Chain A
Amino acid sequence: MKKYVSLYLVGLVFGLGISISGMINPAKVINFFDLAGSWDPSLAFVMGGALAVAYPGYRLVFKHVRPALAGRFELPTSTTIDLRLIGGSAVFGIGWGIAGFCPGGALPALGTLEPQVFLFVSALLGGMWLARLPRRISMSRASTAQS
């Protein structure tokens, strides 16, 4: 129980940060990217602030053998630079530019109960589901072939 309460509070710190920073607001996000129009550079300060804490913070944390509430650190291990990574990220950027929401901005925004946020998050989940479909089909084929 202590674990879940702690993690809830960590999520809350994130959601509060997204709310205060303006990342929750698609109009502000799109204006950050609109160099040729109504440019609002605020969001550069969001990433700057986040990295100013996360970079030294991670270095301190990694001096420990293990995290406080889990057995070990589980970090992404892939180092592959390929078309999936670069192309997928580029497609993400197209969607971000069209809608103004990224996942980390949209999830806290659900708390405002704006219907448009629910529409975006539904489409987001739909896209994530679709992108998993080829792997799912090949996996179910493999298991049918085995049996």
Chain B
Amino acid sequence: MELTSFTPLQSLGGGLLIGLAAVLLMALYGRVFGATGILAGAVLERGSGDKGWRWALLAGMVTGPLVYRLFTGGLPDVTVTASWPMLIIGGLLVGVGVTYGAGCTSGHGVCGMARLSRRSFLATMSFMVSTFITVFVVRHLLGL
């Protein structure tokens, strides 16, 4: 079990930037900022028209930690507690789940909720409850 410190100000500040990115994408290009849809459209969907805008977004997202380092002198902390097999199983489940559920934390949790979409509200409730239960089972019942 890896302890992490309570960071309300950084988390709020980061959240404001995430919301800003969602608003900017809508104002400039008229799309919701859903990481699932952007990744799928860039890599997996055939004939979804112009992929360039999605690759431009992905390039920006990936350089986020590097610009963070310019300001703070170090990369953001990425501490992975899951084992390699758990990362693979978790990744597969996330991939299947977000495809059927048509979105993830950014698409449903931020953009959909901000549009007051009933679908996104229920999807967000579903994955939040499911994650709470999963973490309880994995950490406290299975002890992984």
Question: Which residues of chain A have a CB within 8 Å of any CB of chain B?
Answer: 3-28, 30-31, 33-38, 40-55, 57-58, 60-61, 64, 66-70, 72-76, 78-81, 84-105, 107-112, 114, 116-117, 119-132
Contacts and interface: CB of A to CB of B under 8 A. Distances in A.
Q: How large is the interface on B (under 10, 10 to 19, 20 to 34, 35 or more residues)?
A: 35 or more
B23 A53 contact: yes
A-B pairs, 7 with minimum CB distance = A15-B64, A127-B95, A11-B60, A21-B14, A49-B15, A123-B91, A99-B90
Interface of B: 1-8, 10-33, 35-36, 39-40, 43-44, 52-53, 56-68, 75-82, 84, 86-106, 108-115, 117-119, 122-124, 126-140
B42 to A, nearest CB: 10
Tell me the interface secondary structure of chain A in the complex: helix
Contacts, number: 500
A92 B64 contact: no
Given A21-B10, A26-B79, A78 B28 contact: no
B123 A86 contact: yes
A85 B57 contact: no
Nearest to A114: B78
A20 to B, nearest CB: 4
B79 A25 contact: yes
B59 A11 contact: yes
